[in-house]
DNA sequence: CCAATGTCCTGGTATATACCAAGATAAAAG
DNA sequence: CTTTTATCTTGGTATATACCAGGACATTGG
């Protein structure tokens, strides 16, 4: 005992070695953005491990956000994370326009629906009121970033569907209907993708993503639009600057 | 050929059946919060599938946030998600005190360090300046919720470590040092846990979680504290209310 | 030149098995 | 009654193998 201490890190599991290797390759830039990672089988042979172990390692790297899988085409290096300042704008499109992000919108579906209880509460309308509903896929440089479902109070935006929906609806509502956003209620959480979302985002089902919900209010505090985005988790970062309201003791002196 | 169409959903994979079953059990309340899920082996036998397939199903349910694993003790039903309004308070503790959440703080480590480039930039001090650093684990009703690493500018808080760190440091800094938080810069993203975090949170490494970073400023706009929390993803939801700054056309009239 | 075809590579699913280590628990020893 | 020990259960890791279906791509036929 104590003769072979040179083999320092032998506690490492096989798939952790692979993870570390892939991480290095990606972080060092040897594998640039959107470059293909070795396949499960290739890694298995190269490291002398079974394909299933190689697979676990690749899935871990995927979870880590360093790589993304694209159906049966293979796995690729994730692009750099992008930040979305939720306290400055309610429209990601408006946010993205300034920087050159190569944003593209694909319309997946549009329909006219009746508000259910949950939507009615969020949009301060009666249950059964007419709403526009449309689903869109947002791509950054050709790569899926998030899926958005949006609900708009119908009577405020007559003939909304006659306009092009491949643009910022927030800007559209402001320009065409004189309805500028004034404030927003936002919720962010992590959850698993359902089958449809996974398909659109090119991810395996049950992958985790980040959901961002927002209710947009006009200057009078009336909600007119509710949106629900589900992002590829490795892609997004949300920032905000918060000014704190007066709390229990309105500290005299300053302020 | 056309005789057995009653077996309607036979395209379902084995592990999807298990997922649906577990989801039902949890959503319907047959399995209450923190109740134990069947083990991998038990599910395998019950559904006539191999343990590895049962395992994949359980991992998917875990990813979905419906269940959490707790080392080698088994898997359990996740408690209800809790919301944390980031635009109203910078202290989760202060936030949690009001509601009866059963919050407990465990001090993991504390040390005095020199600021590296990244920390120096965030806290507006010189590289090499002295900082307090402490890591704490936050538990809700006895269950790990998030790990927090906090960095405070040392010269502003003499003898910080002589105080009890099992309380809200924001409140501590306000009460003992007359340094109330005025505003905060917040960033939220999804990322994988490292080994230490996974251990503390009772999760397998490389699981995804939600990271919340915040820089806290005083009334003069000077940063004095930087915190980094990593949450169990299925547990947290972050909300904010944003008032939009004047954009291209400073809408006349209100405000 | 273009469309159709077939082959190869890829990840997704699934089985059956094996060993390990940590947690839980019951049994044995003090 | 308490402490220690041994056993059982659990998830974590790992292998070797197999079949399927979709994407990529070169070859073939018109």
Three-state SS string across A63-83, please? HHCCEEECCCCCEEECCCCEE
Check whether residue B50 has its CB closer than 7 Å to nucleic acid strand C: yes
Please determine, looking at this structure, whether the domain spanning A14-77 carries the CATH number 2.40.50.140: no
Q: Could B88 and A244 be called an inter-chain contact, meaning their C-beta atoms sit closer than 8 Å? A: yes
Which residue out of B207, B239, B244 would a mutagenesis test of the A interface target, given it has the greatest number of A Cβ atoms within 10 Å?
B244
* Binary contact (B242, A188; C-beta < 8 A): no
Instruction: Determine if strand D comes within 7 Å of the CB of B71.
Output: yes
List all residues 6 or more positions away from B199 whose beta carbon is below 8 Å from its beta carbon. none
ipTM reported for the complex, 2 dp: 0.84
CB within 7 A of strand C (chain B, 10-49): 13-16, 48-49
pLDDT digits (tens, 9 = 90+) for A100-115: 667 888 899 999 999 9
Give the pLDDT confidence score for residue A7 in this predicted structure: 38
Percent of chain A with pLDDT over 90: 51
Chain B's closest residue to A254, CA to CA, is: B219
Give me the pLDDT at residue B11, please.
63
Residue-wise burial string across A32-43, b where 16 or more C-beta atoms lie within 10 A, e elsewhere:
eeeeebbebeeb
Mutate to test the interface with A, among B20, B78, B242, B249 (most CBs of A within 10 A): B242
pLDDT in tens, A195-211: 788 888 877 777 788 99
Chain A partners within 8 Å of B210 (Cβ): 189-190, 210
Query: Using the beta-carbon criterion (under 8 Å), do B253 and A219 form an inter-chain contact?
Result: yes
List the one residue out of A248, A233, A176, A245 whose CA is nearest residue A203.
Answer: A233
Cα–Cα distance, A249 to A255 (Å, whole number):
13
Q: Is B63 on the interface with A (CB under 8 A)?
A: yes
Within an 8 Å CB–CB cutoff, is residue A12 touching chain B? no
The tens digit of pLDDT for each residue in B3-48 reads 333 334 456 788 889 999 999 999 999 999 999 999 999 999 999 9
Contact B24, B58 (CB under 8 A): no
CA of B16 to C1' of D19 (A): 18
Nearest residue, CB atoms, A90 vs list B63, B180, B244: B244
Nearest CA in chain A to B204: A60
* Residue of chain B whose Cα is closest to the Cα of A181: B244
- Quick: pLDDT tens for A30-69: 999 999 999 999 999 999 999 999 999 999 898 888 898 8
Residue B52 Cβ < 7 Å to strand C = yes
Residue A94 is predicted with a pLDDT of: 65
Which residue gives the smallest C-alpha to C1' distance to D14? A53
Q: What is the mean pLDDT of residues B203-222?
A: 88
DSSP for B151-208 reads: EEEGGGSTTGGGS--SS-HHHHHHHHH-----EEEEEEEEEE--HHHHHHHT--TT-E
A167 touches strand D (CB under 7 A): no
Task: Spell out which residues of chain A touch residue B63, defining contact as CB-CB under 8 Å.
Answer: 192, 206-208
A190 reaches B (C-beta below 8 A):
yes
Q: B223 and chain A: CB distance < 8 Å anywhere?
A: no
Q: Homologous superfamily of A82-239 in CATH?
A: Chorismate lyase-like (3.40.1410.10)
Residue-range domain boundaries for chain B: 14-77, 82-239
C-alpha–C-alpha distance, residues A30 and A47, integer Å: 19
**CA atoms of B50 and B69, how far apart (whole Å):** 20
pLDDT at B251: 37
Give the C-alpha distances (Å, rounded to integers) separating B209 from A210, B1, B7, B41, B96: 10, 48, 39, 27, 20
Report the b/e string of B172-206 with b at 16+ CB within 10 A: bbbeebebbbbbbbbbbbbbbbeeebbebbebebb
Q: Is any Cβ of chain B less than 8 angstroms from the Cβ of A254?
A: yes
How far apart (Å, rounded) are the C-alpha atoms in residues B175 and B169? 10
Contact A145, A136 (CB under 8 A): no
Residue A201 has a pLDDT of: 85
Q: N- to C-terminal Cα distance for chain B? A: 71
Q: How does residue A82 score in pLDDT terms, banded at 50, 70 and 90?
A: confident
Distances in whole angstroms, Cα of residue B24 to Cα of each of B29, B30, B48, B117, B184: 8, 8, 19, 50, 41
Unique residue bearing structure tokens 């992958």: A207
Whether A168 and chain B come into contact, CB under 8 Å, resolves to no
């Amino acid at each position: 005992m104590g003769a072979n201490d040179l083999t320092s890190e032998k506690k490492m599991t096989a798939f952790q070695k692979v993870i570390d290797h892939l991480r290095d390759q990606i972080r060092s830039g040897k594998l640039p953005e959107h470059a293909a990672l070795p396949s499960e089988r290739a890694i298995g042979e190269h490291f002398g491990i079974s394909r299933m172990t190689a697979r676990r390692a690749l899935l871990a790297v995927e979870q880590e956000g360093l790589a993304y899988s694209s159906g049966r085409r293979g796995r690729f290096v994730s692009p750099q994370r992008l930040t979305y300042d939720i306290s400055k704008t309610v429209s990601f499109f408006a946010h993205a326009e300034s920087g050159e992000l190569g944003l593209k919108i694909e319309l997946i579906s549009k329909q006219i629906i009746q508000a259910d209880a949950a939507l009615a509460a969020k949009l301060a309308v009666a249950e059964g009121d007419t709403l526009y509903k449309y689903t869109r896929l947002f791509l950054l440089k050709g790569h899926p970033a998030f899926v958005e479902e949006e609900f708009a109070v119908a009577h405020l935006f007559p003939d909304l569907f006659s306009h092009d929906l491949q643009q910022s609806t927030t800007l559209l509502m402001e320009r065409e209907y004189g309805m500028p956003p004034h404030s927003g209620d936002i919720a962010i959480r992590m959850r698993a993708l359902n089958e449809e979302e996974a398909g659109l985002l090119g991810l395996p089902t049950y992958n985790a993503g980040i959901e961002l919900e927002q209710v947009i209010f006009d200057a009078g505090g009336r909600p007119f639009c509710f949106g629900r985005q589900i992002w590829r988790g490795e892609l997004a970062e949300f920032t905000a600057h918060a000014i704190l309201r007066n709390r229990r003791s309105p500290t005299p002196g300053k302020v």
